[in-house]
Amino acid sequence: MKVAKFGGSSLADAIHIKQVCDIIDQDSERHIIVVSAPGKRYSDDSKVTDLLINLAKERLAGTDYNPSLLAVFERFEIIANDLSISEAMDSIKKKISTVASAPYTDEIKYLDSVKAMGEDCSAVILAAYLNSIGRKAKYCNPKDCGLILEHDEVGKAIIIDESYENLAKLANEDALCIFPGFFGYNSKGEIITFSRGGSDITGSVLAGAVMATVYENWTDVDNVFAVNPSIVKNPFPITEITYDEMRELAYAGFSVLHEEALFPVYKRGIPVNIKNTNNPSAKGTTIVSKRTHYDSLVTGIAGEKGFCTVTINKYLMNRQVGFLLGLLTIFAQEGVSIEHIPSGIDSVTLIVRKKYFTPEKEQIIVSRIKSELSVESVHVERDLAIVMIVGQAMANSVGIMARAASALGNAGINLKIVNQGASEISLMFGVSEAYCSYAVKALYKELFKL
Ligand code: ASP
């Protein structure tokens, strides 16, 4: 049994929805279909989720949200008319207006409930259309199916384990299960959404629950590429990649799947196949636990801006028992998570993300380090980009670090930090933000021998 998740571009209009139905028809193993909200039809179009967010914000601000409500109706109306299922619009309009006008006490929960309507109505439409063309399909409500979520201490939606048992029952359904992505319910029956792009997580959870043979993630590109195509034209395609490689690349900015989507399938060893709805015969990229082949020594190169370094110097640091513990405790108490810790004999650098290490936090943390740990100096740099070279095959080969470092040196890029991951599947460089794309390009040119 396969779980297939279709992204917003695959549900953006009737033509794409018909393509989705053809894909479903081509393989009887595709039993559970997870859908996103309709995405953009052209580059400056709006995603339905963004229209819904506008609507909810207008209501919360006490302004007139009717034009936004009509814009959402119009998107679904065009799709329903083009699929000749306009009768589905009554229930869609009712669902959205009821949620939009519902009384609320908690603004975040209200926003979540409105945001979820994009996926919910997308699933209603797809199920209605499949039935209208003679397929047996069932719209699956996440509440009835038992997808239970709750918020953790930082407000992130997490899945309650019991959900897996509940959702496993979908494997016994006769009809095709059409399941809306992106949201579930808490134990009080209130809607909770994942963060943006979260339908990927729903698909992964369902694949895990029914122990699918594969989790198909249908999008609008033939492959994942070895490097961001907006930095390098026509980059090398990745046909196969491990979960670990994918995780490292995602960390440094690859935005193929939602960051949290890999875990449920990774834990159960279910492969993920990223495919193109507009070109279903392309093999796509498969994410696996063990590689079957290597097309290249390096699998991918990624770069991400938005990091800071905090370097602490203290004479005889290595002799003071508990120094690092004290340092890390300060960051923990101030709620700033630490990404990497390269260190020297009398110095240590903590790499943190700018979005958590705000200027206000910087002030508090630096003054606490100075007063509580009596250090020689603390130096903060706020413009670091992390560039990663990732590849399982690198573990057994010699000289990649030398080639990478000289490529960056020849390009005139100063390396602020160099770190080889303990796993040996990645090399990490810290460079000034201004050089991020330039560094990715130079490394790609060297390591993919162009
Ligand atoms: N529709 C949501 C978003 O635009 C979730 C998703 O598509 O995965 O972020």
* CA of residue 142 to ligand 1 center, whole Å: 16
Give me the pLDDT at residue 391, please.
Answer: 94
Cα–ligand 1 centroid distance for 48 (angstroms): 9
How far, in Å, is the centroid of ligand 1 from the Cα of 11? 11
Q: Which one-letter amino acid corresponds to residue 114? A: V
Cα–Cα distance between 243 and 251 in angstroms, integer?
A: 12
- Name the residue at shortest CA distance from atom 6 of ligand 1: 197
Q: What's the predicted TM-score (pTM) here? A: 0.90
Task: Give the number of other CB atoms < 10 A from CB of residue 304.
Answer: 20
Predicted pLDDT of residue 205: 98
Which residue's C-alpha comes closest to atom 5 of ligand 1?
197
- 152: region left, alpha or beta (phi > 0 left; psi from -120 to 50 alpha): beta
Q: Judge whether 443 and 301 are in contact, CB under 8 Å.
A: yes
Q: Is 53 in the pocket of ligand 1 (CB under 6 A)?
A: no
Three state DSSP letters for the chain: CEEEEECHHHHCCHHHHHHHHHHHHHCCCEEEEEECCCCCCCCCCCCHHHHHHHHHHHHHHCCCCHHHHHHHHHHHHHHHHHCCCCCHHHHHHHHHHHHHHCCCCCHHHHHHHHHCHHHHHHHHHHHHHHHHCCCCEEECCHHHHCCEEEECCCCCEEECCHHHHHHHHHHHCCCEEEEECCEEECCCCCEEECCCCCHHHHHHHHHHHCCCCEEEEEECCCCEECCCCCCCCCCCEECEEEHHHHHHHHHCCCCCCCCCCHHHHHHHCCCEEEEECCCCCCCCEEEECCCCCCCCCCCEEEEEEEEEEEEEECCCHHHCCCHHHHHHHHHHHCCCCEEECCECCCEEEEEEECCCCCHHHHHHHHHHHHHHHCCCEEEEEEEEEEEEEECHHHHHCCCHHHHHHHHHHHCCCCCCEEEECCCCCEEEEEEEHHHHHHHHHHHHHHHCCC
Alpha-carbon distance of 448 to 225, in angstroms, equals 12
Q: Are 315 and 360 in contact (CB under 8 A)?
A: no
- Ligand 1 pocket test: pick from 9, 46, 49 the residue with the most ligand atoms within 8 Å of its Cβ: 49
**If the chain, 450 residues long, is cut into consecutive pieces of 10 residues, what is the mean pLDDT of each piece?**
97 98 97 98 96 98 97 98 97 97 95 97 98 97 97 84 97 97 96 95 98 96 92 94 91 85 95 97 95 92 96 91 95 94 92 96 97 94 95 87 94 91 84 96 90
What was the pLDDT predicted at 413? Answer: 96
- Between the CA of 358 and the centroid of ligand 1 the distance, in Å, is 28
**Which of 46, 47, 257 has the most ligand 1 atoms within 8 A of CB, as the residue to mutate?**
47
Residue nearest to atom 8 of ligand 1 (CA): 197
Establish whether residue 198 lines the binding site of ligand 1, counting it when its CB lies within 6 angstroms of any ligand atom.
Answer: yes
Measuring CA to CA, how many Å separate 268 from each of 211, 234, 243? 8, 33, 12
Cβ distance 140 to 178 under 8 Å?
yes
Q: What is the pLDDT of residue 153?
A: 73
